[in-house]
Amino acid sequence: MQLAPIEEKADLMIRSVWTSSGGRQIPGNDFNSLLLLACHTADITAAFLTTAGAIVSSAIWGQAPAENQCLFSLVFPLRTSEGLLRGQLIIVDITPKLLTDQQKISLRLIADSLTQTIVLKTRLDRYKGDDSDRKSVTEELDRQKAFYENILNKLPTDIAVFDADHRYLFVNPGAISKEEYRKFIIGKDDYEYAVYRNRDIAVAHSRRAKFLEVKQSGKEIRWEDTLKDPQGNNITHLRRLFPVYDENGELNLVIGFGIDITERKIMEEKQTALVQQLSSRNSQLIDFCSIVSHNLRAPLVNMSMLVNFISENTDPVEQRLLISKLRPVIDNLHDTFNELVESIQIRQDLEIKSEDVCLSDCIRRTMEGLQPEISRLNARIETELQGSGIIHYPPQYLNSIIHNLISNSLKYHFPGRSPLIVVKTECLAEKIILSVRDNGLGIDLVKHRDNFFKIGKVFHRHPNAKGFGLYMTKTQVEAMGGRIWVESVPNEGSIFFIEFVNRSKQAS
């Protein structure tokens, strides 16, 4: 059997074949075996195959099966010089784009007349005659791999790639900074990693739940995730997890990545606090406007009605009666006006000067001022002051606060019961808590808690109650960063608490 012409022709043909270094010989050592070559076939034209006539009687051009990822394949029969069909040569183009002219590799088909076999030998560039091209291809691939990995590793986000069973295929240093841990995790899941790192398994549970959500829905999910860093600070990530499918619609990969949005989160929280502050200021303003509209307009209406009656009336006795009614209206208008102006000034006077004020002096002065009322009601005022009670505060605010609370306790005493008022201070680090307890009327907090410190709210039938006092007190306390609250039982008494933020160095 003469094989030489086959060898010669095939060699001639394959010499011009460009192939990747992966061009390989399929097991099989005779004409009947199938030779599958991963080749670049740019030089194989229909015309060339025709010139190979004696060997190649026909070539089937066509689209290759998808799983081989070929552009096309060539199938042609190999025959002996006697025309007997001895096998098929299939040339499959897999990676034409990877190859350049420098990587040209020749294949040689060697026929062995003794064993009647054809051996396909890969020869790295027959014309240059060494292994340098194979090496350079490998190097090029490595270089490209390093290039892309470098990009993924340097991205300031954490990236994790999972297989369809939630096992890690890749993580970048953004996700796991230590290389040792990164190496460990490949091929494992979060449960194994939690055990390895001796971490709470709850994280693995929640990540598995997210993974299954993506797998089942087939859709990307996003969520925010807050964890503590080693310094104990909250770190918030915006995480995204999305599925990647192959051409058959099978889940191939799930890719997750997270961006650190801690700064944005802090900003958002600041904004939310600001919006809340503004909205509370706004509702205070609405209350304020409505009280101004009511409290100033009410006496004006009365005055105008009185003046109308006076001018229409001819009876001097009646006129005198009407004129006598004008005085309390004008007084009321005057008081209301002053109180409104005062409360506006508290809000505007942000630069008000603080001084070191002695709380016990302040309480003593207030008691002196209220002495006639204290004597009239036979009231007893006890003080339990802790430490020196020096507080850094605007003196006029402090006087006004203490005066308001004590005079309220006297004003709303329980009829027939001698008022007992206990003023107490408690000094904590940077805080002083003042409490004023009485045995007076008390207030139904179930009904009134929401309105308690609102302007214009009055809870008892008292001729001088206008609902300004506690509103002012609250304003004066809050303007300096403190807070006020109340506990009360109707008919038993109330305790008002004020927490002052104390910035005094002398505070004890």
Partner 1 sequence: MKSIFLIDDDPIFVFLTRKVIDSTNCKFEINEFMDGELALNRLQDICEDPTQLPDVIFLDLSMPVMDGWEFLKEYESLKPKIKKEIALFIVSSSISPQEVERSKNYSSVTDFLIKPLEKDKIVEIMS
Note the residues at the interface with partner 1 (CB under 8 A).
Answer: 286, 289-290, 293-295, 297-298, 301-302, 304-306, 309, 325, 328-329, 447, 456-462, 465, 467
Secondary structure (H, E, C), 243-254: EEECCCCCEEEE
Question: Cβ of residue 306: shortest distance to partner 1, in angstroms?
Answer: 7
Cβ neighbours of residue 327 closer than 8 Å, sequence gap 6 or more: none
Question: Cβ of residue 289: shortest distance to partner 1, in angstroms?
Answer: 7
Question: Cβ of residue 154: shortest distance to partner 1, in angstroms?
Answer: 58
Kindly tell me which of 235 and 292 has the beta carbon lying closer to partner 1: 292
Kindly tell me which of 76 and 459 has the beta carbon lying closer to partner 1: 459
Please tell me the distance from the alpha carbon of residue 73 to that of residue 59, in angstroms, as a whole number. Answer: 9
Kindly tell me which of 219 and 447 has the beta carbon lying closer to partner 1: 447
Kindly tell me which of 96 and 467 has the beta carbon lying closer to partner 1: 467
Kindly tell me which of 181 and 452 has the beta carbon lying closer to partner 1: 452
Please tell me the distance from the alpha carbon of residue 139 to that of residue 103, in angstroms, as a whole number. Answer: 12
* Residue indicated by tokens 């605010």: 397
Number of H helices, E strands in the chain: 13, 19
Helical spans, DSSP H, in 16-81: 46-51
Question: Cβ of residue 218: shortest distance to partner 1, in angstroms?
Answer: 48
Question: Cβ of residue 286: shortest distance to partner 1, in angstroms?
Answer: 7
Question: Cβ of residue 328: shortest distance to partner 1, in angstroms?
Answer: 7
Q: Which helix (H) or strand (E) element contains residue 304?
A: helix 262-312
Please tell me the distance from the alpha carbon of residue 133 to that of residue 125, in angstroms, as a whole number. Answer: 8
Kindly tell me which of 414 and 497 has the beta carbon lying closer to partner 1: 414
* Residue indicated by tokens 């600001």: 274
Please tell me the distance from the alpha carbon of residue 424 to that of residue 348, in angstroms, as a whole number. Answer: 30
Tell me the one-letter amino acid at 18: W
Kindly tell me which of 364 and 460 has the beta carbon lying closer to partner 1: 460
Question: Cβ of residue 297: shortest distance to partner 1, in angstroms?
Answer: 5
Please tell me the distance from the alpha carbon of residue 226 to that of residue 228, in angstroms, as a whole number. Answer: 7
Please tell me the distance from the alpha carbon of residue 497 to that of residue 508, in angstroms, as a whole number. Answer: 19
Secondary structure (H, E, C), 63-90: CCCHHHCCCCEEEEEEECCCCCEEEEEE
Question: Cβ of residue 285: shortest distance to partner 1, in angstroms?
Answer: 12
Question: Cβ of residue 294: shortest distance to partner 1, in angstroms?
Answer: 4
What six digits make up the tokens of 423? Answer: 């003023």
Kindly tell me which of 403 and 457 has the beta carbon lying closer to partner 1: 457
Kindly tell me which of 1 and 301 has the beta carbon lying closer to partner 1: 301
Kindly tell me which of 143 and 462 has the beta carbon lying closer to partner 1: 462
Contact status, residue 319 vs residue 313, Cβ threshold 8 Å: yes
Question: Cβ of residue 449: shortest distance to partner 1, in angstroms?
Answer: 14
**DSSP symbols for 425-441:** EEEETTEEEEEEE--S-
Please tell me the distance from the alpha carbon of residue 467 to that of residue 454, in angstroms, as a whole number. Answer: 8
Nearest Cα to 507, choosing from 385, 406, 402?
A: 385
Question: Cβ of residue 295: shortest distance to partner 1, in angstroms?
Answer: 8
Please tell me the distance from the alpha carbon of residue 379 to that of residue 438, in angstroms, as a whole number. Answer: 10
Kindly tell me which of 422 and 458 has the beta carbon lying closer to partner 1: 458
Classify 235 as helix, strand or coil.
strand
Residue 5 CB neighbours (<10 A): 14
Kindly tell me which of 73 and 295 has the beta carbon lying closer to partner 1: 295
- CB burial of 66-86 (b: ≥16 within 10 Å; e: otherwise) equals eeeebeebbbbbbbbeeeeeb
Please tell me the distance from the alpha carbon of residue 37 to that of residue 93, in angstroms, as a whole number. Answer: 8
Question: Cβ of residue 300: shortest distance to partner 1, in angstroms?
Answer: 8
Please tell me the distance from the alpha carbon of residue 306 to that of residue 308, in angstroms, as a whole number. Answer: 5
